[in-house]
């Protein structure tokens, strides 16, 4: 029995990056031998075990053969005769197909270290094209390592293109797709994830609503970058630069979908795109079964982001409606995330990345004023039920009018 550290742990150590998760491969062992040593089996699909003390995953060296569609369409074979090289060749990228023993002696049959140094994301073998999930994984790695200068090898991009055109992407489970998308959006360069998906034709399969934004012009006075797709990428980039959470990044990606529905004869204006985009945002939310907080914020940002930009001009009554829509009294954090998404939208424009956004503090102040209106005096006056709600609304409106006058 030989045990090797494999995959990301080896890659990140060679890159000088922190190693978090460690995967282990066991060569020359049987399931019975693993169980006898106290390892605990995990799942029924293939032989993976938890270490009796550390709890880390140890997998028997295995080969795999395509047996159906999608991510799960594989038959695995594990036996003591499977070599380390045979196990490594089934992996996605050469930089993930390296192994090392406990002395840090490197096994690198597919030149992963060379590609690491050349900053290339390259597939290990033609079997790459058997797993559609790898399209999303490579795009995610491109987003993670773009800051180090990594790019996707042309031949790998071509395989990704073939996969995108094959119909295999439709066989991906929602859960696996969302896991890759959400992880990619939280990388340092999430916009690169979208760019790579677009370059290989996967974006128009997975998110045609986002793909449709490229080539759609906007008024140059407000959008020096003109192209709506490029604007979306810039907004996503700003969300990462400002360390925004997943909810905000998801909203940033989807906020302008309505502009993809504007008839060409109306370009570059996009009247009521906030409203027309809601059905598209809802469709994307449901397609990937995004978490509820991501879904809600994306819809609210889509509907109200122009309100955010025009905050200082809004009537007190409109301001109150905005605050009510976000339920700022019970869910203040959601409104804070809306403000953040609006600011990212304002900064995601060519040459305007450093612009100030006074609307943010103005909206925070308005929410504070509305929240500070006390209920007790109204109760003491005998208001209750629907009448109490209306009285509270009147008092909040009065407070917001005073706030506007003094702002």
**What is the rounded CA–CA span in Å between residue 46 and residue 257?**
41
Residues 13 and 72 in one domain: yes
User: Could you tell me if residue 135 is inside a domain?
Assistant: no
Answer whether residue 189 is part of any domain.
Answer: no
Name the token pair of 235. Answer: 């907004």
Quick one: tokens of 133? Answer: 């999930």
Backbone angles phi, psi at 59, to 5 degrees: -115, 140
Do residues 247 and 351 both lie within one domain? Answer: yes
303 and 397 inside one domain:
no
CATH of the domain at 14: 3.30.460.10
User: In this structure, are 342 and 401 located in the same domain?
Assistant: no
Provide the pLDDT confidence category of residue 218 given band limits of 50, 70 and 90: very high
The pLDDT of residue 69: 53
In a domain, 159, yes or no: no
Same domain for 314 and 386?
A: no
Strands (E) across 226-329 are located at none
pLDDT tens, position by position, 317-376: 999 999 999 999 999 999 999 999 999 999 999 999 999 999 999 999 999 999 999 999
Residue of 156, 172, 155 lying closest to 207 (CA atoms): 172
Residues 297 and 397 in one domain: no
- pLDDT per residue as tens digits for the range 121-178: 999 999 898 899 999 999 999 999 999 999 999 999 999 999 999 999 998 999 999 9
Same-domain check for residues 362 and 385: no
Give the end of a domain, one of 110, 140, 158. Answer: 110
Q: Are residues 391 and 290 part of one domain?
A: no
The answer to whether the beta carbons of residues 76 and 44 sit under 8 Å apart is no
Q: What is the DSSP string of 65-108?
A: EE-SSSTT-EEEEE-TT--HHHHHTTSSBGGGS-EE-TT--EE-
Residue 70 pLDDT > 60: no
The whole-number pLDDT of residue 335 equals: 98
- Decide which of 59, 77, 110 is a domain's last residue: 110
* Cα four-point dihedral sign 351, 354, 356, 360: positive
Spell out the residues 6+ positions from residue 222 whose beta carbon is closer than 8 angstroms to its own: 349
Based on the fold, state whether residues 388 and 356 are members of the same structural domain.
no
H/E run at residue 193: helix 190-199
Q: 128 and 91 in contact (C-beta within 8 Å)?
A: no
> In this structure, are 274 and 363 located in the same domain?
yes
Answer whether residue 207 is part of any domain.
Answer: no
Task: Kindly state whether residue 299 falls inside one of the protein's structural domains.
Answer: yes
- Tell me whether residue 88 is in a domain: yes
Kindly state whether residues 353 and 391 are assigned to the same domain: no
Residue 97 lies in a domain: yes
CA nearest to 250, candidates 201, 223, 284, 218 = 284
> What is the residue-averaged pLDDT of the chain?
94
Total domains in the chain come to: 3
What is the bridge-based pairing of β-strands 23-27 and 57-60? parallel
List, in order, residues 6 or more apart from 262 with CB less than 8 Å away: 216, 269, 270, 271, 273, 276
What does the pLDDT read at residue 68? 54
pLDDT of 44 strictly over 70: no
Q: Is residue 227 domain-resident?
A: no
Last residue of one domain, picked from the residues 72, 87, 110: 110
Cβ-based neighbours of 194, under 8 Å, separated by 6 or more: 203, 210, 232, 233, 236, 253
Round to whole Å and give the CA distance between 335 and 322. Answer: 10
Tell whether the model's pLDDT for residue 309 goes beyond 70.
yes
Same domain, 4 and 95: yes
Residue 384 belongs to domain spanning: 376-406
């Amino acid at each position: 029995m030989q045990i090797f550290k494999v995959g990301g742990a080896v890659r990140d150590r060679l890159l000088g990056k922190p190693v978090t998760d460690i995967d282990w491969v066991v060569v020359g062992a049987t399931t019975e031998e693993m169980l006898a040593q106290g390892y605990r089996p995990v799942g029924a699909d293939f032989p993976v075990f938890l270490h009796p003390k550390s709890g880390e995953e140890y997998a028997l060296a295995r080969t795999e053969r395509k047996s159906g569609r999608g991510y799960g369409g594989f038959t695995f074979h594990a036996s003591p005769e499977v070599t380390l090289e045979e196990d490594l060749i089934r992996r996605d990228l050469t930089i993930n197909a390296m192994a090392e023993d406990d002395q840090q002696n490197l096994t690198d049959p597919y030149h992963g270290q060379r590609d690491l140094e050349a900053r290339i994301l390259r597939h290990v073998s033609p079997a790459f094209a058997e797993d559609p999930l790898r399209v999303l994984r490579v795009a995610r790695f491109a987003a993670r390592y773009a800051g180090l200068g990594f790019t996707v090898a042309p031949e790998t991009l071509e395989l990704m293109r073939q996969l995108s055109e094959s119909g295999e992407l439709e066989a991906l489970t929602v859960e696996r797709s969302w896991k890759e998308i959400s992880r990619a959006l939280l990388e340092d360069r999430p916009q690169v994830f979208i760019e790579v998906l677009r370059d290989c034709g996967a974006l128009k399969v997975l998110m045609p609503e986002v793909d449709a934004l490229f080539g759609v012009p906007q008024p140059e006075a407000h959008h020096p970058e003109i192209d709506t797709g490029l604007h979306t990428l810039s907004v996503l980039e700003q969300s990462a630069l400002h360390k925004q959470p997943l909810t905000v990044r998801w909203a940033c990606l989807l906020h302008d979908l309505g502009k993809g529905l504007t008839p060409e004869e109306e370009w570059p204006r996009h009247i009521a795109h906030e409203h027309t985009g809601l059905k598209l945002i809802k469709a994307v939310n449901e397609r990937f079964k995004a978490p509820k907080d991501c879904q809600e914020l994306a819809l609210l940002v889509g509907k109200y982001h122009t309100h955010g930009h025009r905050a200082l001009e809004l009537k007190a009554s409109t301001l109150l409606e905005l605050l009510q829509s976000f339920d700022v009294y019970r869910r203040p954090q959601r409104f804070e995330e809306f403000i953040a998404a609006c600011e990212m939208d304002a900064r995601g424009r060519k040459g305007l990345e450093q612009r100030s956004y006074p609307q943010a503090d103005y909206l925070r102040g308005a929410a504070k004023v509305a929240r500070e209106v006390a209920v007790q005096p109204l109760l003491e006056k005998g208001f209750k039920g629907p009448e109490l709600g209306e009285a509270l609304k009147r008092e909040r409106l009065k407070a917001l009018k005073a706030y506007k006058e003094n702002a």
